C-alpha cells in the first residue's frame, strides 16, 4: 500500500465508521449484558467509540453456534477448493479495504501508519491467501502395511477452536490464528484484546462478505478475565490458541487442566538477544538492523531485541552507530507517515516502561540516549527511544520484558560468554546474530536457545516458516507455515483389513 500524507490520514480517520457489535452465528449482535466498554486512541487519550462487552453466557451461545456449524459440515466438509475460494476472497477484501483498516488500526493501537499500511494489513491479507492456497494441496499418507491391512494416516479438523489475541499486532495476530484455524476446517471463537478490538470486528464483516458460513467465525469483544477465562474453562472447546503474556498463558494451561484437557497453544513473551561478533565489517548495516530489532512497534513486540550483546573491542564504535541510526526513528503522531514510533498502548503501560527506565538508572545503567516521556501536551503515551550502556546481565532491564522502546547494551569477551548471556533468560523466542564468519554463524545459531535465530539481519522469518518460542516463550505453538495448519488438526490412523 502506498503511503499518503499526514493530512490525508487525519482526514480519513475522522470519516471512519466502526462495527462495535459481536459476531455470533453470522449476526452482529449486542452482548447479553447490554454493557459496553470504551476504546481509546493511545496517541490522544481521546475515546474513539463504545464496543459491546460480551459475557460468559455469550461464550456459551457462540460455542453452540460454532459446534452446530462444525457438526453439520457446512465448512468442515465443504470441498477444500470452495473453502480456499472463500478465504482467498477474504484476503482480497482485506486488501480492497486496506487503507481503512490501516487507519483504524493506527488510531486504536497507537502503532505507526508507516507499519500498518506497509506491513500489518498487507501481511494480514497475504496470511489468509497463503493458508487458503495451501489447503487443497495437502496430502494424507499411507504406510507400507503388512499385506493384510491398509493403513491410512489422515488429518481431521479439531472442532471448535478459541483464539485469544494481544493488542500489539491486533489484526495481524487475528490472521495468524484464524487463517490456519479456518483453512483446516475448524469453527472459531475469537476474543480480540479489549484495547484493540476494532479491526478484528471489521474483519468479521469482511469474512461474512467473503462468504464464510454463519456460525463458523464468531468474534466476542470483552475482557480477558471474563471471555478469555470462559474460553479457557469451556468444557467442550477442543483447542485454544493464545498470544499474550506468559502469566496469562500459564493460567490457561491450568484452566485446560481443570476442565477438558483442551489443546492449549501458547505464544508468549520474549527478552531477545542481538549478538554482535568482533569480525563484523559492515557495522552500519548491523546497527541499522539492531535499531529496527529493538524499536520496531515501539518495542511492543515479543521479538524485540532488547538486549544488545556486543564484543567489547567494538562496543564504543558500534554504540555510536546505533545512536546515530536511532536518531532517524522519529516519535510522534502515528498517523504521520514520517514517524517510526507511535504511542504506547495505554497510560498505565507507559508508566511501567518509564519505571523500568528509572530502575535502569538506579541499578547503574548509563543512560546514553532518550529516556523520557515526550509530547505530553498531545494527551498521548509517547516515550523516546531509549538506550542504556554499561548494563550487566543481572540488572532488571536486562532480565525483564519491558515491552517498550528500551535497549540494554552489554559486552562480552569470548563467544561462550556471549552465548551464556544470550541464553540466560526464562524466554526463548528469537535471537539475532551478526558475524562475517560462516562457521561462527552455524555454530552459534545452533547454540542459541530460541525458536527463530536470524543471522546478519533481524527477522522473524516469513509466512512459510514456523514462528514460536522455546522455554517460557511458548507452549507447543507455531504460527505461520504448514506447522500452524497441522496444530489445528487431529491425527487419525485408519487400520483396515483387506
Ligand atoms: P495479556 O495481558 O496476556 O493479554 C493477552 C490477551 O489475553 C488479551 O486478549 C487479554 O484480554 C487476555 N487475557 C487477559 N487476562 C486473561 C485471563 N485471565 N484469561 C484469559 N485471557 C486473558 O498480554 P498483553 O499485555 O495484551 O500483551 C503483551 C504480551 O504479549 C507480552 O508479554 C508479549 O511478549 C506477548 N506477545 C507475544 C507474542 C508471541 O507471538 N509470542 C506476540 C505478541 C505479544 P484483555 O482484553 O482483557 O486484555
Ligand atoms: Mg484502543
Other CB atoms within a 10 A radius of the CB of residue 447 amount to 17
State the alpha helices, DSSP H only, in 97-137.
98-109, 113-115, 121-135
| Predicted pLDDT of residue 437 | 98
* Terminal CA-CA length for the chain: 57
- What integer pLDDT is reported at residue 243 of this predicted model? 98
Contact 273, 422 (CB under 8 A): yes
pLDDT of the residue at 145:
81
Who's near 394: CB < 8 A, 6+ residues apart?
none
Collapsing DSSP states into helix, strand and coil, what is residue 250?
A: helix
Number of Cβ within a 10 Å radius of residue 438? 9
Give dist(CA 241, CA 462) in Å, integer. Answer: 20
User: For a substitution probing ligand 1, which of 56, 166, 194, 242 has the most ligand atoms within 8 Å of its CB?
Assistant: 166
Q: Which atom of ligand 1 is nearest to the CA of 223?
A: 47
Among all bound ligands, the one having the nearest atom to the CA of 195 is: 2
CB proximity list for 25: less than 8 A, separation 6 or greater: 61, 62, 65, 214, 215, 218
pTM, full prediction: 0.98
**Closest protein CA for atom 48 of ligand 1:** 193
Cα–Cα distance, 30 to 393 (Å, whole number): 50
Q: Cα–Cα distances in Å, from 371 out to 350, 353, 445? A: 12, 10, 32
User: Tens digit of pLDDT for each residue in 381-411?
Assistant: 999 999 999 999 999 999 999 999 999 999 9
* Substitution candidate for ligand 1 out of 168, 194, 248, 249 with most atoms within 8 A of CB: 248
- How far, in Å, CA of 385 to CA of 398, rounded? 16
322 burial type by CB count under 10 A (0-12 exposed, 13-18 middle, 19+ buried) = buried
Percent of the chain with pLDDT over 70: 100
Task: Identify the residue whose C-alpha is closest to ligand 1 atom 4.
Answer: 244
The rounded distance, in Å, linking the Cα atoms of 55 and 35 is: 9
- Ligand 1 site residues (CB inside 6 A) read 164-168, 191, 193-194, 223-225, 228-229, 232, 243-245, 248, 251-252, 267-270, 302, 401, 403, 429, 469, 473
The pLDDT value given to residue 63: 98
Query: Which residue has 477448493 as its cell numbers?
Result: 81
Ligand nearest to the CA of 241: 1
Q: Answer whether residue 60 shows pLDDT above 90.
A: yes
Q: Which residue's alpha carbon is nearest to atom 26 within ligand 1?
A: 166
Please work out, in degrees rounded to the nearest 5, the angle formed at the alpha carbon of residue 459 by the alpha carbons of 457 and 465.
130
Report the DSSP beta bridge partners of residue 489: 157
Ligand nearest 51 Cα, by number?
Answer: 2
Pairing verdict, β 217-219 and 187-191: parallel
Look up cell 546505533; give the residue: 322
What pLDDT, on a 0 to 100 scale, did the predictor assign at position 299? 98
Neighbours of 52 (CB within 10 A): 24
What is the per-residue pLDDT for 241?
98
Nearest ligand atom owner, CA of 342: 2
Residue entry with cell 479491526: 199
Say how many C-beta atoms besides its own lie within 10 A of residue 484's C-beta.
28
Pairing of strands 149-157, 141-142: antiparallel
pLDDT surpasses 90 at 412: yes
Residue that has been written with the C-alpha cell 469483544 in this structure: 221
Neighbours of 449 (CB within 10 A): 18
Q: What is the pLDDT of residues 87-99, one digit of tens each?
A: 999 999 999 999 9
Q: What is the pLDDT of residue 146?
A: 87
Q: Cell 558475524 identifies what position?
A: 435
Q: Which of 111, 245, 473 to mutate to test the pocket of ligand 1 (most atoms within 8 A of CB)?
A: 245
- The band of 8, judged by pLDDT with boundaries at 50, 70 and 90, is very high
Element (H, E) at 239: strand 239-243
Written as one string, the DSSP assignment of 292-329 is HHHHGGGG-STT---EEEEETTTHHHHHHHHHHHHTTS
What residue has cell string 489484526? 171
Q: What is the mean pLDDT of the chain?
A: 98
- d(CA 244, ligand 1 centre) in Å: 3
pLDDT at 216: 99
What are the tens digits of pLDDT across the range 251-279? 999 999 999 999 999 999 999 999 999 99
193 alpha carbon – ligand 2 mean position (Å): 9
How many angstroms does the Cα of residue 364 sit away from the middle of ligand 1? 31
| pLDDT average, residue stretch 139-150 | 91
> Strands, DSSP E only, in 332-372?
366-369
Sign of the C-alpha dihedral computed for residues 166, 170, 173 and 179 taken in this order: positive
Confidence category of residue 36, pLDDT binned at 50, 70, 90 = very high
The band of 375, judged by pLDDT with boundaries at 50, 70 and 90, is very high
Sign of CA dihedral 490, 68, 173, 208: positive
List, by residue number, the catalytic residues. 267, 302
The string of pLDDT tens digits covering residues 455-471 is: 999 999 999 999 999 99
Whether residue 144 is predicted with pLDDT greater than 90 in this model: the reply is no
Rounded Cα–Cα distance for residues 494 and 484 (Å) = 23
473-483 pLDDT per residue, tens: 999 999 999 99
- The set of cell numbers assigned to 344 is 504506547
**Quick check: 409 and 388 in contact, CB under 8 A?**
yes
- pLDDT (tens digit, 9 = 90+) per residue, 291-336? 999 999 999 999 999 999 999 999 999 999 999 999 999 999 999 9
* Mean pLDDT of the region 122-136: 97
* Cβ atoms within 10 Å, residue 140: 12
Greatest distance between any 2 Cα atoms in the chain: 79
Q: Can you read off the three cell numbers belonging to residue 104? A: 483504524
- Distance from Cα 430 to the centre of ligand 1, integer Å: 18
Q: Mean of the pLDDT values across residues 145-152? A: 91
Q: Which three cell numbers stand for residue 467?
A: 514462528
- Atom number of ligand 1 nearest to Cα 231: 20
Amino acid at each position: 500500500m502506498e503511503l499518503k500524507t499526514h493530512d490525508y490520514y487525519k482526514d480519513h480517520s475522522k470519516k471512519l465508521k466502526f462495527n462495535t457489535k459481536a459476531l455470533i452465528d453470522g449476526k452482529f449482535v449486542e452482548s447479553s449484558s447490554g454493557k459496553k466498554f470504551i476504546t481509546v486512541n493511545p496517541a490522544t487519550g481521546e475515546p474513539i467509540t463504545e464496543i459491546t462487552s460480551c459475557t460468559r453466557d455469550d461464550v456459551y451461545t457462540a460455542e453452540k453456534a460454532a459446534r452446530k456449524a462444525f457438526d453439520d459440515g457446512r465448512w468442515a466438509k465443504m470441498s477444500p477448493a470452495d473453502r480456499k475460494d472463500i478465504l482467498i476472497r477474504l484476503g482480497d477484501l482485506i486488501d480492497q479495504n486496506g487503507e481503512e483498516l490501516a487507519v483504524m488500526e493506527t488510531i486504536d493501537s497507537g502503532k505507526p501508519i508507516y507499519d500498518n499500511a506497509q506491513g500489518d494489513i498487507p501481511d494480514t491479507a497475504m496470511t489468509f491467501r497463503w493458508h487458503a492456497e495451501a489447503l487443497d494441496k495437502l496430502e494424507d499418507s499411507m504406510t507400507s502395511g503388512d499385506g493384510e491391512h491398509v493403513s491410512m494416516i489422515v488429518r481431521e479438523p479439531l472442532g471448535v477452536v478459541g483464539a485469544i489475541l494481544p493488542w500489539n499486532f491486533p489484526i495481524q495476530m487475528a490472521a495468524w490464528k484464524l487463517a490456519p484455524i479456518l483453512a483446516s476446517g475448524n469453527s472459531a471463537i475469537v476474543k480480540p484484546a479489549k484495547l484493540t478490538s476494532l479491526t478484528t470486528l471489521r474483519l468479521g464483516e469482511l469474512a461474512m462478505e467473503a462468504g464464510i458460513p454463519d456460525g463458523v467465525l464468531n468474534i466476542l469483544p470483552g475482557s480477558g478475565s471474563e471471555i478469555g477465562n470462559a474460553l479457557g474453562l469451556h468444557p467442550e472447546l477442543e483447542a485454544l490458541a493464545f498470544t499474550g503474556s506468559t502469566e496469562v498463558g500459564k493460567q490457561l494451561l491450568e484452566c485446560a487442566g481443570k476442565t477438558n484437557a483442551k489443546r492449549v497453544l501458547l505464544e508468549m513473551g520474549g527478552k531477545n538477544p542481538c549478538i554482535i561478533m568482533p569480525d563484523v565489517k559492515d557495522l552500519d548495516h548491523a546497527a541499522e538492523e539492531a535499531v529496527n530489532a529493538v524499536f520496531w512497534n515501539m518495542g511492543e513486540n515479543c521479538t524485540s531485541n532488547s538486549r544488545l550483546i556486543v564484543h567489547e573491542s567494538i562496543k564504543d564504535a558500534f554504540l555510536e552507530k546505533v545512536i546515530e541510526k536511532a536518531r532517524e526513528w522519529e516519535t510522534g503522531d502515528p498517523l504521520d507517515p514520517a514517524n517510526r514510533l507511535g504511542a504506547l498502548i495505554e497510560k498505565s503501560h507507559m508508566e511501567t516502561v518509564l519505571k523500568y527506565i528509572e530502575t535502569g538508572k538506579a541499578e547503574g545503567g548509563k543512560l546514553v540516549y532518550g529516556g523520557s516521556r515526550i509530547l505530553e501536551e498531545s494527551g498521548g503515551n509517547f516515550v523516546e527511544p531509549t538506550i542504556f550502556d554499561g548494563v550487566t546481565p543481572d540488572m532488571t532491564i536486562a532480565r525483564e520484558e519491558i515491552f517498550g522502546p528500551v535497549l540494554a547494551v552489554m559486552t562480552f569477551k569470548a563467544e561462550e560468554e556471549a552465548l551464556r548471556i544470550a541464553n540466560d533468560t526464562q524466554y526463548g523466542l528469537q535471537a539475532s546474530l551478526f558475524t562475517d564468519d560462516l562457521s561462527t554463524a552455524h555454530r552459534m545459531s545452533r547454540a542459541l536457545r530460541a525458536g527463530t535465530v536470524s543471522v546478519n539481519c533481524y527477522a522473524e522469518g516469513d509466512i512459510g516458516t514456523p514462528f514460536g518460542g522455546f522455554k517460557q516463550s511458548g507452549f507447543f505453538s507455531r504460527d505461520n507455515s504448514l506447522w500452524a495448519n497441522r496444530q489445528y488438526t487431529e491425527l487419525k490412523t485408519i487400520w483396515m483389513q483387506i
